[in-house]
Amino acid sequence: MSAGQIRIKMFEVGHGDSFLITFEQEGEAPRHLLLDCGGKDSPHGPGMKHIVDAVKEEVLDADDNPHIHVVVCSHIHNDHVSGFGYESKWKDVTVDEVWLPWTEDPDLPLARQIREDQKRLALALVARLEKRGITGWPAALALNAIPNTAALKTLHTGFRGPRVKFFGHAEAPRATQSWYGSDALPGVDIFVLGPSMNPSTIDTSKMDPPAGQSYLRYWAAELERDPSDAPGFLESFYEAGVRPSELQLTPRLLKALDGAEGELEELLAATTEKTLNNTSLVLLLRFGNRSLLLPGDAQWGVWEEIMADDSVTDLLRAVDFVKVGHHGSHNATPRDLVEKRLGGSYRAMISAKLGAYGQGVPKEELYKAMRARGADVALSDVTIEPHLTAGFQRVTGKMYVETVLKVKF
Amino acid sequence: MASPPRAHRRRLRIYALDPLHTAYGQQTLTIDVPNEPLAPGPVGQHLAVVDYDGVRKRYFQPVDLEDPELLKSDGLEPSESNPQFHQQMVYAVTMKAIEVFEKSLGRPFAGFGRFFHTDARQSVRRLQLVPHAFRGANAFYDPTHHAVMYGFFRVGKEQHGFNMPGQDIYSCLSHDIIAHESAHALVHRVREYYLYPTNHDVLAFHEAFSDLVALFLHFSYPEIVRLALRRTKGNLRQANLLMHLAEQFGQAIGSQSALRSAINLQPDPARIGSIFEPHDRGAILVAAVMHGFIETYQRRIEPLLLLATDGSGILPDGELRPQFLDVIAVEVAKVAEHFLTMIVRALDYMPPVDPTFGDFLRAMVTADLEIVPIDKDRQRLATIHGFRTYGIFPSEVHSLSEESLRWKRATEFNPLHFEALKFRFEKTPGTTWEENDLQDYLLLAFQANQPELKDFDWGEGIRTRYRAAQKQVAIELHKYATRNAQILGLVPDGGKAFPLRVAGFHPVFRTGPTGTLEIELIAQFVQTQKSEPTTDTGGLEFRGGATVIFKSDGRANYVVSKPLQGDTAHLGGTTNAAQRQERQSAFLAACDDRDSTLPWRDAKWVATRGLRRATFAALHRGGLE
């Protein structure tokens, strides 16, 4: 019976995700898995340059060359991939495998369609919000959804030597047993719980608009149109003078009518964010007697499906570490998951900056609830007290928070 | 020379089927509505059409329906390009919907004179109808401003789907959309707390009910049914016939209809347990009632079918004879009208807060039993069967027999006897007679609400006394509820922590089973549990209440209670306050899970999120989740 450990490093990227997971087994060289590399407003300097350098430092092999065995891109939101945009920095990094959700597969027509529609909607929303002078969270969300071409290029072709794999393919059966074992990570059982096999969880096309069209495409087209492009009437039908005020609509009502459009845009921004989040790779990795739950930013619809799957129940209960989804937002870690599905004594890490998108992320009630049930939760944002508890440490001179899990085989 | 008496009805032309569905051409229909004096708008007693172009921000000239030339020709010629016709159509169909409610509920609507939203600053007496309120593909009733906003838009080149690219679409020209939206406003008029989603049936009920009103109103015109029948080329199989008609309806009403998903909904009793989204949930309710509608219709035309096929019951291939189609159309229309009356009447027998689908079934059965004890067409049975088929079971009954589903009558409660409602009016100055108990009040109400009264001078005197009497009745009812709080399932002596209010009351005049006039008083009591500021209710306080139906001698006949404390065992029910409250919290949490905007909202929004989600605008946007 050999021993080992799993080291998990949460890099301080500000608001975003970048985790380095190292699998160590007695007598073997350590194996690295990089889970996402993106963020904004890092305390260690503008952009992600410093973080990328810091990551590379941690993955040097015996010959002092950077070698990452698996790079995982949970989903392509900018705050998860912006670090990959430094193409020159990654050129010398050897990567054995790159894992992406099936929606990134360049050879799958359905995936291509969804990608195009998502991009189109994001761009249309950004343009419309700019035109209407709307800033704030709807605009930030829309910008986050525009694909970062440099980062994507790195992921697909920019490392040295990788095999690129796409997971959760629409035709592949949902993983219930260990159906994937990778040469790059021997000894690790890989369970893929998401993205959903059900396109409508991603596309929400069961909703309107007409004739079962993709809502992404419908709303993209709608936003691209000129708002004044509406049916017109002959001038002679309009009133010439001003009517008495008791026959007019009240100013409050007029204001409400004007506000309706803003509400719609908010809804579209949030829905755009959600659909991209729901393409996230949801992974459960088991190494020896330890399990790690890495759900990307998957939100409610995906969790609903996962929790309805009986074959996954035992896996969830045995989880020892959770990378908390969507920077600790409310609906990426459903209440039922915390209250009923996970065991009690796991460790969790939340990589988020409070105030980056308002006060709802990370959600205080969420990490409080986790802690109340016995979990140890670390937050990357040092302004939130307590941000570290037992089992975590912030290493001076390094740009990460680390935790180590002892493993038995 | 004496002028002729005022005509009772006004005839107005409308589009029968959505003009955008060019498959049917531009079919028009002339409907008749109660005749009332109209100012340009048109503006009547209950409605005011305010035609504001929300895109160009200008007002259109209002139509004057009293213009002699328009009176001669049943109003304006239907036209997509003339906004004045749109004003006419919106007025006409909304009036029709109001009339249906008035007839079914057995009382005139005393105007939409009250604002229900607490932050209303202006008292607007009428329901405003805005035919061109905004650019968009939907329409919605706004309870805050007491207005129905209709959207209009131009179809994009790639989004056209069923229509032509660049086609202009006006939701105010769809009979079914107008009926649907009007139903929302009318339900809100009689059940203002149904806007607050305290469980997953509430908003679904609002949607489904409005769809059913629109569906049955649509099929209550034999001409429309006939039109639709003619379009179904080829064989007319009974079973598919109504499905086909409903399909056309579903396509016409467009995206906000639960009906669209109800059409092909296979009965699956397990579904109701797992479906959350209001439209999908509403679709199950619609499908259940429609199931009953189809079964009833099939039973009714069976003898006709046997006649037409010489006893074989098998229809020949090819198109059917026009005479047969005529007869079928009339039968469909009759059944639709019966169903429309039944579902609307059920509203009076629903609790004032926290409704469920099960409550609706029980209310329908009870209301119908009161009017028609013998279910000749087995309409009630068919409806019950429909609910069973789709898995909608009221939680507190032990069988689906009529007797079991009926709300328990007060005479059946054991061993409590309700105190009878009695009061003495103060003598109002200037009156010639003393009103001194409930029966006199009800008679006064009956007189005051005769439409002909407006034509007589002394009519105004009666109305004044009636209005004064109403104020006193409200006070008496409040005292009654306070004294009988425990029995009603409310908190006695609640004070400021549990404010109790009389949410509404009205006399009901209807024909009883033996043809006699029955007069009843229906009252709604609502009590609120004022929560601590730290409790997270999302702005939706926990409420309980009871609908009480009093006979004219003051005896309570039915009590439909949603208890604020304890349970309803003493009323023959099994509803439990603690369970309801738990369910309400669980529902708020479930909505939170699904609300993708929640992470980005500020604290103020979050504190009132339950209320903010309670809007028809959001519901009708297509439910982007």
For residue range B361-380, what is the model confidence (pLDDT) as tens digits? Answer: 999 999 999 888 888 889 99
Query: Cβ A230–B255 below 8 Å, yes or no?
Result: no
Share of chain B above pLDDT 70, in %: 81
Of A24-33, A206-215, B221-230, B549-558, the poorest mean pLDDT is in A206-215
Tell me which chain B residue has its CA closest to the CA of residue A233. B81
Say if residues B485 and B494 touch (Cβ distance below 8 Å). Answer: yes
Query: Cβ B597–A253 below 8 Å, yes or no?
Result: no
Give, for B215, the enclosing helix (H) or strand (E): helix B202-218
Q: What are the beta bridge partners of residue A348?
A: A322, A377
Of A209, A237, A271, the CB nearest to B137: A209
A chain contacts of residue B597, beta-carbon cutoff 8 Å: 266-267, 270
Query: Cβ A326–B599 below 8 Å, yes or no?
Result: yes
Query: Cβ A238–B53 below 8 Å, yes or no?
Result: yes
Min Cα distance B167 → chain A (Å) is: 9
DSSP string across B416-443: --PPPP---PPPPTT-SS---SHHHHHH
Q: What is the mean predicted confidence (pLDDT) over A171-187?
A: 65
Q: Encode pLDDT of B168-213 as tens digits.
A: 889 899 888 899 999 999 999 999 999 999 999 999 999 999 999 9
Check whether A298 has a pLDDT greater than 50: yes
Of A208, A299, A335, the CB nearest to B596: A299
Tokens of A271: 């829905």
b/e map B200-236, b = 16+ CB within 10 Å: bbbbbbbbbbbbbbbbbbbbbbbebbbbbbeebeeeb
pLDDT band at B3 (very low <50, low <70, confident <90, very high): confident
Min Cα distance B438 → chain A (Å) is: 39
Residues in chain B: 625
- The answer for B 42-61 residues in CB contact with A (under 8 A) is 43, 48, 50, 52-56, 58-61
What pLDDT is stored for residue B623 in this prediction?
Answer: 45
Interface contacts A/B by beta carbons within 8 Å: 162
Q: Does B592 touch chain A (CB under 8 A)?
A: yes
Alpha helix locations (H) across B433-484? 438-448, 457-483
Q: Does B161 touch chain A (CB under 8 A)?
A: yes
Of B136, B161, B618, the CB nearest to A210: B161
Position B240, amino acid: N
Q: Which CATH superfamily is domain A3-109+144-202+275-408 in?
A: Ribonuclease Z/Hydroxyacylglutathione hydrolase-like (3.60.15.10)
Query: Cβ A257–B606 below 8 Å, yes or no?
Result: no
Rounded Cα distance, B176 and B168, in Å: 18
Check whether B22 has a pLDDT greater than 90: no
Which residues have C-beta within 8 Å of that of residue A141, sequence separation ≥ 6?
A269, A270, A272, A273, A357, B600
Check whether B119 has a pLDDT greater than 70: no
For strands A400-408 and A392-394, give the pairing.
Answer: antiparallel
**φ and ψ of B350, to 5 deg:** -100, 150
Share of chain B above pLDDT 90, in %: 39
Supply the mean pLDDT for chain B.
82
Q: Does B596 touch chain A (CB under 8 A)?
A: yes
Check whether A228 has a pLDDT greater than 60: yes
Rounded Cα distance, B64 and B314, in Å: 53
Say if residues A72 and A281 touch (Cβ distance below 8 Å). Answer: yes
Of B41, B161, B598, the CB nearest to A360: B598
What pLDDT is stored for residue B247 in this prediction?
Answer: 60
Say if residues A374 and A389 touch (Cβ distance below 8 Å). Answer: no
Rounded Cα distance, B500 and B179, in Å: 34
Min Cα distance B145 → chain A (Å) is: 6
Rounded Cα distance, B289 and B346, in Å: 13
Query: Cβ B55–A228 below 8 Å, yes or no?
Result: yes
What pLDDT is stored for residue A10 in this prediction?
Answer: 97
DSSP for residue A174:
P
By C-alpha distance, which of B553, B551, B571, B552 is closest to B561? B571
Q: What is the CA radius of gyration of chain B?
A: 25
Tell me which chain B residue has its CA closest to the CA of residue A263. B618
Query: Cβ A331–B162 below 8 Å, yes or no?
Result: no
Tokens of B492: 């006695």
Q: What is the mean predicted confidence (pLDDT) over A258-273?
A: 86
A chain contacts of residue B146, beta-carbon cutoff 8 Å: none
Q: Rounded to 5 degrees, what angle do the CA atoms B109, B111, B116 make? A: 105
Cis peptide, bond prior to residue A209, ω within 30 of zero: yes
A chain contacts of residue B55, beta-carbon cutoff 8 Å: 227-228, 230
By C-alpha distance, which of A64, A82, A86, A61 is closest to A73? A82
Tokens of B454: 């407006």
- Return the SS3 of A290: strand
Min Cα distance A109 → chain B (Å) is: 20
CA end-to-end span of chain B? 66
Position B580, amino acid: R
Of B133, B597, B625, the CB nearest to A257: B133
Query: Cβ B145–A213 below 8 Å, yes or no?
Result: no
What pLDDT is stored for residue A208 in this prediction?
Answer: 38
Tokens of A162: 């990788």
Of B161, B592, B596, the CB nearest to A270: B596
Min Cα distance A238 → chain B (Å) is: 4
Say if residues B253 and B259 touch (Cβ distance below 8 Å). Answer: yes
Query: Cβ A263–B617 below 8 Å, yes or no?
Result: yes
Q: What are the beta bridge partners of residue A11?
A: A400
Tell me which chain B residue has its CA closest to the CA of residue A274. B596
Greatest Cα pair distance in chain A: 91
What pLDDT is stored for residue B475 in this prediction?
Answer: 86
Of A221, A248, A260, the CB nearest to B158: A221
B chain contacts of residue A261, beta-carbon cutoff 8 Å: 134
Say if residues A82 and A75 touch (Cβ distance below 8 Å). Answer: no
For the purposes of burial, counting CB atoms within 10 Å of the CB of B458, is it exposed (0-12), middle (13-18) or buried (19 or more)? exposed
pLDDT band at B146 (very low <50, low <70, confident <90, very high): confident
Of B27-36, B140-149, B226-235, B293-302, the poorest mean pLDDT is in B226-235
By C-alpha distance, which of B50, B9, B51, B44 is closest to B30? B9
What pLDDT is stored for residue B395 in this prediction?
Answer: 80
Q: Encode pLDDT of B55-104 as tens digits.
A: 999 999 999 999 999 999 999 999 999 999 999 999 999 999 999 998 88
Q: What are the beta bridge partners of residue A322?
A: A293, A348
Q: Does B235 touch chain A (CB under 8 A)?
A: no
C-alpha dihedral, B312 to B313 to B319 to B324, nearest 10°: 110
Check whether B250 has a pLDDT greater than 80: no
Q: What is the mean predicted confidence (pLDDT) over A267-279?
A: 89
Query: Cβ A274–B596 below 8 Å, yes or no?
Result: yes
What pLDDT is stored for residue B245 in this prediction?
Answer: 57
Which residues have C-beta within 8 Å of that of residue B460, sequence separation ≥ 6?
none
- The answer for B 362-381 residues in CB contact with A (under 8 A) is none
Rounded Cα distance, B75 and B63, in Å: 10
pLDDT band at B564 (very low <50, low <70, confident <90, very high): very high
Query: Cβ A209–B255 below 8 Å, yes or no?
Result: yes
Tokens of B410: 């007060």
Min Cα distance A250 → chain B (Å) is: 9
For the purposes of burial, counting CB atoms within 10 Å of the CB of A252, is it exposed (0-12), middle (13-18) or buried (19 or more)? middle
Min Cα distance A275 → chain B (Å) is: 10
Q: What is the CA radius of gyration of chain A?
A: 23
Tell me which chain B residue has its CA closest to the CA of residue A232. B81
By C-alpha distance, which of A184, A180, A159, A155 is closest to A31? A184
Check whether A354 has a pLDDT greater than 70: yes
Q: What is the mean predicted confidence (pLDDT) over B127-142?
A: 91
Check whether A337 has a pLDDT greater than 80: yes
Say if residues A336 and A305 touch (Cβ distance below 8 Å). Answer: no
Check whether B255 has a pLDDT greater than 70: no
Q: Encode pLDDT of A88-142 as tens digits.
A: 999 999 999 999 988 888 888 878 888 888 899 999 999 999 998 888 899 999 9
Of A32-46, B308-322, B337-351, B489-503, the poorest mean pLDDT is in B308-322
Q: Encode pLDDT of B261-311 as tens digits.
A: 566 677 888 888 888 888 889 989 998 998 898 889 888 888 888 888 888
Of B31-45, B319-333, B582-596, the poorest mean pLDDT is in B319-333
pLDDT band at B399 (very low <50, low <70, confident <90, very high): confident
- The answer for B 79-118 residues in CB contact with A (under 8 A) is 81-84
Domain boundaries of chain A, sorted by first residue: 3-109+144-202+275-408, 110-143+203-274
Min Cα distance A39 → chain B (Å) is: 18
Min Cα distance B593 → chain A (Å) is: 5
More confident residue, B380 or B24: B380
B chain contacts of residue A331, beta-carbon cutoff 8 Å: 592-596, 598-599
What pLDDT is stored for residue A88 in this prediction?
Answer: 94
CB atoms within 10 A of CB A392: 20
Check whether A306 has a pLDDT greater than 70: yes
Rounded Cα distance, A210 and A216, in Å: 12
Rounded Cα distance, B447 and A77, in Å: 69
Say if residues B394 and B387 touch (Cβ distance below 8 Å). Answer: no
CB atoms within 10 A of CB B145: 22
b/e map B473-506, b = 16+ CB within 10 Å: beebbeebbeebbebbbbbeebeeebebebbbbb
Q: Measuring CA to CA, how many Å separate B580 from each of A51, A118, B528?
A: 52, 41, 13
- The answer for B 5-44 residues in CB contact with A (under 8 A) is 41, 43
What domains sit in chain B, N to C, each tagged with a CATH number?
Answer: 1-190 (3.10.170), 198-406 (1.10.390), 412-575 (no CATH)
Which residue do the tokens 């409400």 mark?
Answer: A256
CB atoms within 10 A of CB B148: 28
Give, for B328, the enclosing helix (H) or strand (E): helix B322-346
